[in-house]
Amino acid sequence: MNAPNPAAPQAGSAPRLALFDLDNTLLPIDSDYEWARFLIRLGLVDEAEYERRNDVFFQQYKDGTLDIHQFLEFQLAPLAAHPRAQLDAWHAQFMREVIAPQIRPSARELVDSHRQRGDLCAIVTATNAFVTGPIAHAFGIEHLIATTPEAIDGRFTGRSVGVASFREGKVTRTEQWLAELGQPWNTFGRSYFYSDSANDLPLLERVSDPVATNPDPRLAAHADAKGWPILRLFE
């Protein structure tokens, strides 16, 4: 089934909101998982142990059993081990070698279709903002709602701050962001959320137009039962 393709809003109509998950939604890969593999390739973490734990957490995420706090301890620890300038240099390499080749025209076209209609767009992801900030920029999306790594005096601590942007936390963080903009939910005529994961059901249920995008089996079954559109960007 194709994704919704709404016409441009008429003058004076209510604004619209377009939210996008990132990993396996706009990207055909998981940026979090690939960042961990990138650190292994650079020799910055113990390969056997880090790969084992990375695979375990990734499977828990797919199964819907992930403890986000345990995962964040694992995910953010390497950021605390290096100066920010060095991390930024490695991330630029990560963007060139891993992310840029995976940004597909179909995903760009989806984002651009909303941007060109004047919709308020944001990426809403559980992956931390250090990893995902440059990726959002590559898609031309100004707003990013992501798990926030704590930094003191410009150096990451290995901890997160605020509500993790995961499951119900995505709804909380989105509502906080909209409140900061002075645009609560009821100011939007329509709201869209594109996601691949059943972990995102709380936010999918919150918007007016949920779109199961490259859905995992659990989300595909839920979308079929609900009559939600299913979009497969990479087929």
In a domain, 164, yes or no: yes
- The alpha carbons of the chain give a radius of gyration, in whole angstroms, of 18
In a domain, 54, yes or no: yes
In a domain, 4, yes or no: no
**The pLDDT value given to residue 61:** 81
In a domain, 1, yes or no: no
Residues spanned by the domain of 156: 16-231
Nearest to 183 by CA among 19, 6, 11: 19
- For residue 100 the two structure tokens come to 């840029």
Other C-beta atoms closer than 10 Å to the C-beta of 201 total 19
**The pLDDT value given to residue 3:** 54
**Annotated active-site positions, please?**
21, 23
Condensed to tens digits (0 to 9), the pLDDT of residues 168-220 reads 999 999 999 999 999 999 999 999 999 999 999 999 999 999 999 999 999 99
Query: Which portions of the chain are predicted below pLDDT 50?
Result: 1-2, 11
- Say which DSSP state 23 is in: B
C-alpha–C-alpha distance, residues 203 and 94, integer Å:
29
In a domain, 10, yes or no: no
Q: Judge if pTM exceeds 0.85.
A: yes
In a domain, 11, yes or no: no
In a domain, 35, yes or no: yes
Residue 122 belongs to a domain with what CATH number? 3.40.50.1000
In a domain, 187, yes or no: yes
Per the structure, the count of domains in the chain is 1
